């Protein structure tokens, strides 16, 4: 009997060693042959994501990173799974290229939750080769398939979510990742979130990192609608990296990346046949953004492609070619909307064409109170101005502007109420000829200055004249007083005063 137990113990040790290989716990999941229990995943695959996570937590105590290998099939969660402080890799274990592992949420709550903790806790989620499919329910949800409720402080532990070779072919009706709440000052909770972020970000890095690598959004065969965001985090800082990803035949009826107070990098992006409807594709606020070595092509339907507000934007080595159509002629939109930002646009091609000229022309680049450097760019349009500036400063070098306007031939248009400046090489040397209102502010200021000079001159002359008049009146009064004082008077009996000749002495005897 003891020998039997010894053999069982040895087998279990070998079994555990095979499970905990290189300090990882590996479990298999199969929707067709699996069964859920507290020991599934090794002898027999687990059936669901819930079952695999429960088996890991119960049998292995979350001691090592977990690797879940999914066989071909479609998987969902029966309940929202708390993955706080876990290190989980979701792998598609496929034999053939045509096979697919799909994740779909049938709940009205997120598939995965990452909650705040009272002590720092690191959470890592990796998705490799997984296809993410729209939920089957019809309700509206804003908290995401992956919901992050951060503690609010940089010190609350790190959250790292990485998607590698992931596909979302059919669009989204719910946010993929939703970061809830807003940043809180570590020292003074009464500070606003943007002020707090500005104070702490100088010496800290975001506690949430989200990455997409070699992933596909949309498909080559038919259009797919993204009615919600891929990543939503407007009030909490994150680090976002999107590299070597494709967006094909995507209808973006919602902003795909509304991000605030974050560090953002897009590189080697290929967008083709995209349709941006009513809302911008990108919205970045108070962030540092790098977009490089990418190609963007599609249609803008009454919406901007990108809004940068209060940010640092580096847009280089890109090609952005768009057609424009407007559902309403009451307002048009630019390709790049840059407000209160610093931007560098270099080695890029940006074009905006359409069937009808814009009625409320916003330009290809619309800039408000910003500083923008343009270098080695080709910017062209047949329906719009090149630049629309409202109180911004432009620095241009080695630029090529191409425009075939039917009614107005102007590269630049400027606000009348806020001064815009254009400096650089000969790019802007013909600005007075091919611009609208860009000299108005200077002429207005010169006119106002001239009027002020005339007004001051007239006022000075009037003031001097008044002073001279005052002196003259005072002088006349003093002169009259002296003249009166030189006369001699004598009293008479009836009380009247009779003047006599001045200088004649009065006879005392009389």
Does 241 have pLDDT greater than 50? yes
43 or 140: which leads in pLDDT:
43
Range scoring the smallest mean pLDDT among 253-267, 293-307, 435-449: 435-449
Q: pLDDT-based confidence at 353, cuts 50/70/90? A: confident
Q: pLDDT-based confidence at 374, cuts 50/70/90? A: very high
Q: pLDDT-based confidence at 510, cuts 50/70/90? A: very low
Q: What is the pTM of this model?
A: 0.79
Range scoring the smallest mean pLDDT among 55-59, 185-189, 226-230, 251-255: 185-189
Q: What pLDDT does residue 213 have? A: 98
Q: What pLDDT does residue 463 have? A: 75
CA dihedral for 133, 139, 141, 145, sign (positive or negative): negative
448 or 310: which leads in pLDDT:
310
Cα 464 to Cα 470: distance, rounded to the nearest angstrom: 10
The DSSP result for 92-146, as a single string, is E--SSTT--EEEE--SSS-SEEE---SS---EEEEEES-EEE--S--S-B-S-SE
* Residues 6 or more apart whose Cβ sits within 8 Å of residue 86: 62, 66, 123, 124, 125
Does 153 have pLDDT greater than 80? no
Q: Which residue from 25, 66, 64, 68 is spatially nearest to 46, judged by alpha carbons?
A: 68
* Residues 6 or more apart whose Cβ sits within 8 Å of residue 169: 131, 133, 216, 218, 219, 224
* Residues 6 or more apart whose Cβ sits within 8 Å of residue 501: 488
Cα 215 to Cα 445: distance, rounded to the nearest angstrom: 54
Q: Are 376 and 344 in contact (CB under 8 A)?
A: no
Cα 225 to Cα 234: distance, rounded to the nearest angstrom: 22
434 or 18: which leads in pLDDT:
434
475 or 508: which leads in pLDDT:
475
Per DSSP, the three-state class of 328 is coil
The average pLDDT across 255-273 equals: 95
Most confident of 7-11, 214-218, 331-335, 358-362: 214-218
Q: pLDDT-based confidence at 8, cuts 50/70/90? A: very low
Q: What pLDDT does residue 143 have? A: 66
Q: Are 28 and 71 in contact (CB under 8 A)?
A: yes
Q: What is the pLDDT of the chain when averaged over all its residues?
A: 80
The average pLDDT across 316-330 equals: 82
Residue range 76-100, pLDDT digits in tens: 888 889 999 899 999 998 877 778 9
Residue range 24-49, pLDDT digits in tens: 899 999 999 999 998 899 889 999 99
Per DSSP, the three-state class of 483 is helix
Q: What pLDDT does residue 423 have? A: 87
The average pLDDT across 309-328 equals: 89
Does 68 have pLDDT greater than 50? yes
Burial class (CB in 10 A: 0-12, 13-18, 19+), 451: exposed
Q: Which residue from 86, 75, 11 is spatially nearest to 48, judged by alpha carbons?
A: 75
Residue 254 DSSP class? S
The average pLDDT across 154-158 equals: 64
Per DSSP, the three-state class of 314 is strand
């Amino acid at each position: 009997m003891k020998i039997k137990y010894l053999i069982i113990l040895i087998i279990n040790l070998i079994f555990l060693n095979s499970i905990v290989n290189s300090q990882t716990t590996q479990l298999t999941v199969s929707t067709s042959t699996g069964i859920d229990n507290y020991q599934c995943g090794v002898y027999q695959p687990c059936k669901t994501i819930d079952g695999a996570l429960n088996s890991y937590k119960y049998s292995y105590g979350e001691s090592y990173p977990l690797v879940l290998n999914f066989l071909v099939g479609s998987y969902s969660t029966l309940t929202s799974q708390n993955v706080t402080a876990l290190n989980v890799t979701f792998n598609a274990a496929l034999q053939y290229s045509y096979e697919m592992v799909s994740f779909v949420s049938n709940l009205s709550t997120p598939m995965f939750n990452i909650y705040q903790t009272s002590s720092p806790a690191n959470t890592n989620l990796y998705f490799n080769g997984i296809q993410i499919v729209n939920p089957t329910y019809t309700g509206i949800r804003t908290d995401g398939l992956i919901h992050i409720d951060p503690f609010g402080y940089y010190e609350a532990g790190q959250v790292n979510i990485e998607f590698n070779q992931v596909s979302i072919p059919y669009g989204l009706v719910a946010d993929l990742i939703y970061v809830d709440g807003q940043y809180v000052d570590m020292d003074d909770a009464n500070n606003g979130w943007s002020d707090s972020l500005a104070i702490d970000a100088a010496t800290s890095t975001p506690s949430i990192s989200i990455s997409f690598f070699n992933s596909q959004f949309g498909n080559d065969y038919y259009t797919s609608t993204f009615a919600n965001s891929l990543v939503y985090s407007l009030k909490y800082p994150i680090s976002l990296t999107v590299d070597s990803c494709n967006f094909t035949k995507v209808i973006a009826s919602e902003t795909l990346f509304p991000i605030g107070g974050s560090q953002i990098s897009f590189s080697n992006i290929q967008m083709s046949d995209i349709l941006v409807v009513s809302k911008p594709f990108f919205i970045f606020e108070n962030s540092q953004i790098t977009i490089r070595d990418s190609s963007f092509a599609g249609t803008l339907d009454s919406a901007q492609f990108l809004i940068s507000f209060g940010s640092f934007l580096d847009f280089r080595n890109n090609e952005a070619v768009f057609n424009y159509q407007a559902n309403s002629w009451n307002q048009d939109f630019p390709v790049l909307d840059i407000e209160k930002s610093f931007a560098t646009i270099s080695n890029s091609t940006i074009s905006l064409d359409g069937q009808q000229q814009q009625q409320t022309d916003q330009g290809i680049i619309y800039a408000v109170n910003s500083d923008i450097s343009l270098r080695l760019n080709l910017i062209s349009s047949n329906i719009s101005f090149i630049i629309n500036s409202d109180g911004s400063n432009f620095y241009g070098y080695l630029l090529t502007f191409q425009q075939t306007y039917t009614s107005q031939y102007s590269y630049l248009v400027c606000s009348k109420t806020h001064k815009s400046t254009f400096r650089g090489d000969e790019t802007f040397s013909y600005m007075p000829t091919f611009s609208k209102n860009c000299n108005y502010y200077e002429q207005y200021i010169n006119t106002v200055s001239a009027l002020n000079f005339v007004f001051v001159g007239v006022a000075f002359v009037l003031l001097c004249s008044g002073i001279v008049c005052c002196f003259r009146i005072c002088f006349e009064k003093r002169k009259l007083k002296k003249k009166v004082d030189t006369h001699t008077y004598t009293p008479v009996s009836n009380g009247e005063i009779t003047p006599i000749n001045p200088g004649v002495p009065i006879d005392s005897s009389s």
